[in-house]
């Protein structure tokens, strides 16, 4: 029997023989079943035989498996010096890359990333933002109206309202998302992205707004960013400011912001006597263009693979 095992040449034959000996009606199985009728000496002999046979099977199995592996390796050699066909590897779109970057910077400052719908109702897009019907500021944004009275979100400021309604105070929220306005030229597309930031707490001042923006922008552009502040007007902030950023030797208009108007807080059930906040909103695509040194916004949306490749993305 031992020689039989040793001389076996394939795993299939080994398995067949194993079943013959250790299977349900196998010879060793029978012997083991019959042990109760045997003397101690006889049992010791059978136990030893059982152990030895199992070991032989195991060794043989290892030997055969190794041989099979070696045979496989010998026939499946890969020639790593062969030229491979160039593959088109996809990458994450630059706008998305930059978006992830700036979001994680905001999160590192304790801002919660919010979401909000692209189709908004009048309340979130305008009225709650202290821009009631017939308010002249509604004309500043060429709105796409839907038949049911809803609008395509014209500004991410709508998400501020959703954030305050949902989470109350204190709150620090950050959002990037698409916004829609009826405009189309080299610097404007009907869909563009805005960033929105909001911080409401006790004793928040405009200095906090400036410090926060400077930190976020300096981290994003990986250099110290110089800013300048001009007075401005938005219905939802008082005072309102516009902030420019120094880029090379030029000042670029960057964003709008200010201290959240008491009416806006009240509209979200927050007591303006106790809480103040700052808010800011800015065009995201232009910021990403600056980061990558691009001058035509439309390239981001054309989906031209050659452009993406040549731009090193």
Contacts to ligand DAH by CB under 6 A: 155, 157, 196, 234, 236-237, 256-258, 279-281
Q: Which is nearer to ligand DAH, 212 or 237 (CB)?
A: 237
Q: Smaller CB distance to ligand DAH: residue 20 or 242?
A: 242
Nearest-approach distance from CB 272 to ligand DAH, in angstroms:
15
Rg (C-alpha) for the chain, rounded Å, is 36
- Ranked by CB distance to ligand DAH, the top (closest) residue is 281
Q: State the nearest-atom distance from the C-beta of 179 to ligand DAH, in Å.
A: 7
Structure tokens given for 267: 């509209």
Q: How far is the CB of 209 from ligand DAH (least distance, A)?
A: 9
Helix (H, G, I), strand (E, B) or coil at 8: coil
Least CB distance from residue 118 to ligand DAH, whole Å? 15
> What is the DSSP pairing of strand 171-180 with strand 112-113?
parallel
Pick from 179, 173, 180, 220: nearest CA to 199: 173
For residue 82, the minimal CB distance to ligand DAH (Å) is 56
Nearer to ligand DAH, 120 or 196 (CB): 196
We find the least distance from the C-beta atom of residue 163 to ligand DAH, in angstroms, to be 11
Residue 38 main-chain phi, psi, to 5 deg: -105, 165
Residue 21 vs 260, nearer CB to ligand DAH = 260
DSSP 179-242: EE-S--BTTB-SEEEEEEEEEEETT--HHHHHHHHHHHHHHHHTSPPPEEEEEEEETTEEEEEE
* Cβ(168)–Cβ(269) below 8 Å: yes
Cβ proximity to ligand DAH: between 143 and 157 the closer is 157
Question: Environment class of residue 120 by beta-carbon count within 10 Å: exposed (0-12), middle (13-18) or buried (19+)?
Answer: buried
Cβ closest to ligand DAH, residue 17 vs residue 240: 240
């Amino acid at each position: 029997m031992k020689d039989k095992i040793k001389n076996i040449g394939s795993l299939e034959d080994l398995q067949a023989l194993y079943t013959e000996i250790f299977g349900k009606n196998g010879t060793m199985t029978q012997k083991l079943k019959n042990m109760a009728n045997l003397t101690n000496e006889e049992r010791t002999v059978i136990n030893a035989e059982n152990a030895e046979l199992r070991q032989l099977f195991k060794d043989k199995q290892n030997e055969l498996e190794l041989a099979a592996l070696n045979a496989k390796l010998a026939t499946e050699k890969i020639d790593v010096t062969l030229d491979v066909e160039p593959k088109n590897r996809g990458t994450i779109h630059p706008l998305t890359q930059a978006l992830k970057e700036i979001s994680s910077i905001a999160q590192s400052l304790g801002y919660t990333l919010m979401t909000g719908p692209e189709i908004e109702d009048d309340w979130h897009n305008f009225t709650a933002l202290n821009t009631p019907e017939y308010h002249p500021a509604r004309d500043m944004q060429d709105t796409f109206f839907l038949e049911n009275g809803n609008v395509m979100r014209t500004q991410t400021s709508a998400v501020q309202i959703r954030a305050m309604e949902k989470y109350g105070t204190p709150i620090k929220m950050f959002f990037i998302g698409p916004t829609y306005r009826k405009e189309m030229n080299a610097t404007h597309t009907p869909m563009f992205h805005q960033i929105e930031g909001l911080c409401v707490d006790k004793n928040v001042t405009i200095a906090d707004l400036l410090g926060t923006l400077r930190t976020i922008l300096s981290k994003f552009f990986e250099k110290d960013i110089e800013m300048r502040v001009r007075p401005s007007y938005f219905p939802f902030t008082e005072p309102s400011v516009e902030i420019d950023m120094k880029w090379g030797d030029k000042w670029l208009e960057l964003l709008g912001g200010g201290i959240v108007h008491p009416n806006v807080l009240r509209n979200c059930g927050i007591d303006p006597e106790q809480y103040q906040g700052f808010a800011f909103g800015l065009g995201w695509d232009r910021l990403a263009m600056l980061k990558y040194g691009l001058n035509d916004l439309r390239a981001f949306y054309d989906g031209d693979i050659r452009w993406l490749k040549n731009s090193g993305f």
